[in-house]
């Protein structure tokens, strides 16, 4: 598989994308009631979604596995329903559990693998290929990819030069969402630097509201917190080196990042429920408790990606009015921009499975889910006007404008045993650090031990 660092260019590009996002998110006073009809946000020269040609598949049945739940799953099922309508095939969604590689292993061992799986880590794609599970994409799917994706997004779906993955879903993981009423009451301003964030947190705390809700029960948001601080503070080159374990987790740069995180995580009164409460808070709850309770919610801010909008949609809060967002503040010389994504991989090769992969690589599929909100596509030919509000449209524009200049989620690049398994590796080590943020050296030692074991075994 092509090294992730080869798709990542310069610090300048990261800074440029951060600047785009800053301008984009400054427009967040829009209403989520914006219907996003074609022409609302595209402007001149906006790509128009073409119609992909699909075969008739009457009688064919497919199973598609993903870890998505709630509104995210429901919205994806609408995409699958359109595929059924166009082809005559029947598609069943199979809810998977993390880590999805273990889930798929059980299915395959039982002789019942799904036809297609959505894998949330490049490392998982590589494992699926190494285990002989994944099947290469056919010419039709590759043609759609070449027409609709930048080279970087194509390359992270390759293993040993062969295309296996279609990155159907992307994420901007460098965003902090906040309760507008709380900020107004506290006189807090959107921060541009880490020190500004600490200042805003203190203002919010002084107004009587706990600053942050942290999803500590789920290990992956903690890895995202670390990655944003580390990328901004240590820089892109160190980020790539740590992602590949070319430097150890005992490196001074990791110590600095953990020490910085402890400035927030170490303040019990800054976390909803304190450290113990944060460790019992799952991601959906971390969002909803920030945007319920009027001007006295359980927390004022919650960190996570653009997909937070799906969870905000489960409250009465409106994105752009009650719920606003700012880029993750600069800890070092530039604000971080971390991306993630989910790739469709074929496990049972067939005409129907290849057709579904082709459909998911097309603007047609992504446009359907874009209109539903809480979704971001790396497909450059999805009309920007498809996104349902101005905040989402600007985030989408910024992602496409970045081309190949992005940093992919670090934990998703690592062996899954280290960066993608609940209760183990980096997830567990950062949960332990959240429990005791004073123990920076102990956290580094545990992270390095687990990383060395996982990289050594390749699992």
Among left, alpha and beta (phi > 0; psi -120 to 50; other), residue 393 is alpha
What DSSP element (H or E) covers 162? strand 162-163
Cβ burial of 95 (10 Å; 0-12, 13-18, 19+) is exposed
Whether 274 has a pLDDT exceeding 90, the answer reads yes
Q: Which residue bears the tokens 């927030």?
A: 264
What was the pLDDT predicted at 28? 43
| CA 402 to each of CA 21, 153, 201: distance values in angstroms, whole numbers, following the listed order | 11, 11, 30
What was the pLDDT predicted at 412? 86
Whether 18 has a pLDDT exceeding 60, the answer reads no
- pLDDT (average), residues 333-356: 94
| pLDDT, tens digit (0-9, with 9 covering 90-100), for 124-177 | 899 999 999 999 999 999 999 999 999 989 998 999 999 999 999 998 899 999
Confidence of residue 51 (pLDDT cuts 50, 70, 90): confident
Nearest Cα to Cα of residue 368 among 85, 31, 32, 33: 85
Rounded Cα–Cα distance for residues 288 and 18 (Å)? 26
What DSSP element (H or E) covers 433? helix 425-435
Domain spanning 61-172+339-408 has what CATH number?
3.40.190.10
- Which residues, at least 6 apart from 397, have a Cβ–Cβ distance to it below 8 Å? 20, 24, 384
Q: Per-residue DSSP letters for 100-118?
A: HHHHHHHHHHTT---SEEE
Whether 342 has a pLDDT exceeding 80, the answer reads yes
Rounded Cα–Cα distance for residues 48 and 362 (Å)? 12
What was the pLDDT predicted at 66? 98
Whether 35 has a pLDDT exceeding 50, the answer reads no
Confidence of residue 49 (pLDDT cuts 50, 70, 90): very low
Whether 29 has a pLDDT exceeding 80, the answer reads no
Asked whether this chain's domains 61-172+339-408 and 175-336+420-459 adopt the same fold, the reply is yes
Q: Which residue bears the tokens 């903690």?
A: 222
What was the pLDDT predicted at 25? 53
Confidence of residue 3 (pLDDT cuts 50, 70, 90): very low
- pLDDT (average), residues 371-386: 94
Q: Are 143 and 277 in contact (CB under 8 A)?
A: no
Cβ burial of 280 (10 Å; 0-12, 13-18, 19+) is exposed
* Token digits of residue 7: 């798709």
| pLDDT, tens digit (0-9, with 9 covering 90-100), for 405-440 | 678 899 988 888 899 889 999 999 999 999 999 999
| CA 36 to each of CA 44, 329, 391, 400: distance values in angstroms, whole numbers, following the listed order | 16, 29, 11, 18
| CA 11 to each of CA 19, 253, 293, 397, 405: distance values in angstroms, whole numbers, following the listed order | 12, 17, 40, 20, 9
| pLDDT, tens digit (0-9, with 9 covering 90-100), for 80-133 | 999 999 999 999 999 999 889 999 999 999 999 999 999 988 888 999 999 999
Whether 283 has a pLDDT exceeding 60, the answer reads yes
Q: pTM score, two decimals?
A: 0.76
| Percentage, residues of the chain above pLDDT 90 | 74
Whether 10 has a pLDDT exceeding 60, the answer reads no
Q: Which stretch of 31-35, 122-126, 322-326 has the lowest confidence by average pLDDT?
A: 31-35
> What CATH class does 175-336+420-459 carry?
alpha beta
Q: Are 391 and 319 in contact (CB under 8 A)?
A: yes
Domain locations in the chain as residue ranges? 61-172+339-408, 175-336+420-459
* Token digits of residue 376: 């971001």
Nearest Cα to Cα of residue 19 among 224, 192, 178: 192
Whether 262 has a pLDDT exceeding 70, the answer reads yes
What was the pLDDT predicted at 37? 35
Nearest Cα to Cα of residue 429 among 226, 173, 176: 226
Whether 193 has a pLDDT exceeding 90, the answer reads yes
CA end-to-end distance (rounded Å), the chain: 15
């Amino acid at each position: 598989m092509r090294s992730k660092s080869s798709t990542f260019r310069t610090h300048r590009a990261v800074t440029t994308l951060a600047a785009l996002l800053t301008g984009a998110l400054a427009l967040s006073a829009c209403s989520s009631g914006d219907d996003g009809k074609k022409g609302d946000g595209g402007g001149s020269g906006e790509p128009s979604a073409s119609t992909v040609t699909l075969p008739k598949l009457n009688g064919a049945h497919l199973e598609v596995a993903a870890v998505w739940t709630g509104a995210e799953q429901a919205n994806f099922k609408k995409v699958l329903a359109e595929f059924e309508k166009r082809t005559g095939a029947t598609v069943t969604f199979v809810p998977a559990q993390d880590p999805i590689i273990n889930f798929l292993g059980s299915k395959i061992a039982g002789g019942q693998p799904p036809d297609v799986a959505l894998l949330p880590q490049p490392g998982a794609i590589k494992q699926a290929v190494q285990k002989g599970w994944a099947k290469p994409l056919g010419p039709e799917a590759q043609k759609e990819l070449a027409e609709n994706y930048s080279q970087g997004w194509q390359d992270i779906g390759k293993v040993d030069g062969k295309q296996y993955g279609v990155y159907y879903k992307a994420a901007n993981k460098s965003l902090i969402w906040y309760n507008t009423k709380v900020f107004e009451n506290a006189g807090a301003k959107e921060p541009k630097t880490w020190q500004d964030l600490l200042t805003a947190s203190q203002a919010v705390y002084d107004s009587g509201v706990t600053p942050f809700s942290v999803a500590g029960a789920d290990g992956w948001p903690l890895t995202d917190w670390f990655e944003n601080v580390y990328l901004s503070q240590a820089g892109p080159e160190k980020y790539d080196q740590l992602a590949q374990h070319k430097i150890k987790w005992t490196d001074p740069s990791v110590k600095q990042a953990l020490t910085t995180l402890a400035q927030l995580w170490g303040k019990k009164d800054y976390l909803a429920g304190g450290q113990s409460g944060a460790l019992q808070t799952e991601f959906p709850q971390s969002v909803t408790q920030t945007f319920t309770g009027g001007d006295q919610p359980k927390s004022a801010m919650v960190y996570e990606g653009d997909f937070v909008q799906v969870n905000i949609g489960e409250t009465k809060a409106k994105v752009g009015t009650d719920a606003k967002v700012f880029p993750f503040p600069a800890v070092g010389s530039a604000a971080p921009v971390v991306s993630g994504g989910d790739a469709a991989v074929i496990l049972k090769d067939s005409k129907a499975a290849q057709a579904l992969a082709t459909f998911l690589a097309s603007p047609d599929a992504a446009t359907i889910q874009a209109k539903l909100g809480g979704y971001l596509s790396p497909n450059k030919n999805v009309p920007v006007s498809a996104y349902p509000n101005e905040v989402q449209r600007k985030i989408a524009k910024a992602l496409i404008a970045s081309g190949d200049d992005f940093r992919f989620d670090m934990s998703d690049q690592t062996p899954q045993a280290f960066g993608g398994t609940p209760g183990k590796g980096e997830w567990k080590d950062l949960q332990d650090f959240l429990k005791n943020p004073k123990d920076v050296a102990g956290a580094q030692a545990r992270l390095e031990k687990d990383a060395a074991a996982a990289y050594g075994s390749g699992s």
